[in-house]
Amino acid sequence: MNTAEIISKLPYSKPFLFVDELVSINENGVVGNYTFDANLDFYKGHFKDNPVTPGVILTEVMAQIGVVCLGIFLLNNKINKNTLIALTSNEIEFLKPVYPNEKVTVISEKIYFRFGKLKCKVKMLNAKNEEVCSGTIAGIIKI
């Protein structure tokens, strides 16, 4: 399965699709990118006159690239329209702000995948290669 096929199987659409490209993917992890469009609605109020990407959105980007894309890859062609995907836990530390129009890179390493549960160590880097947040995210994929 190529990276375009993986992205097409994501259960999200604009404006809640936070994956632009997958740079690399294998059974142990994934690297992908997303650029935050300055016109996204949440920038209008977070924060007034000084827009910053909310932490919950940064977590979602890491989950979509680092867990869901990897899970789709690991399950290969078993994913279908009835597949259920749910976040089960996350522990993220936020280190730097991410601003409108910034491109970020998510790097995810599989900790384990068993009984439909995928847990990954994830980190997000900005264009300067600085770590902006990191931690662990786990989710369940039920076919």
pLDDT in tens, 16-71: 999 999 999 999 999 999 999 999 999 999 998 899 999 999 999 999 999 999 99
Neighbouring C-alpha atoms within 13 Å toward the C-beta of 41: 3
Residue of 46, 117, 119, 121 marked active site: 46
Query: With 80 as the cut, is the pLDDT of residue 81 above it?
Result: no
Residue 46 among the catalytic residues = yes
Q: How far apart are the first and last CA of the chain?
A: 18
The whole-model pTM stands at 0.95
Q: Which CATH fold would you assign to the domain 3-142?
A: Thiol Ester Dehydrase; Chain A (3.10.129)
Residue 77 has pLDDT above 80, yes or no: no
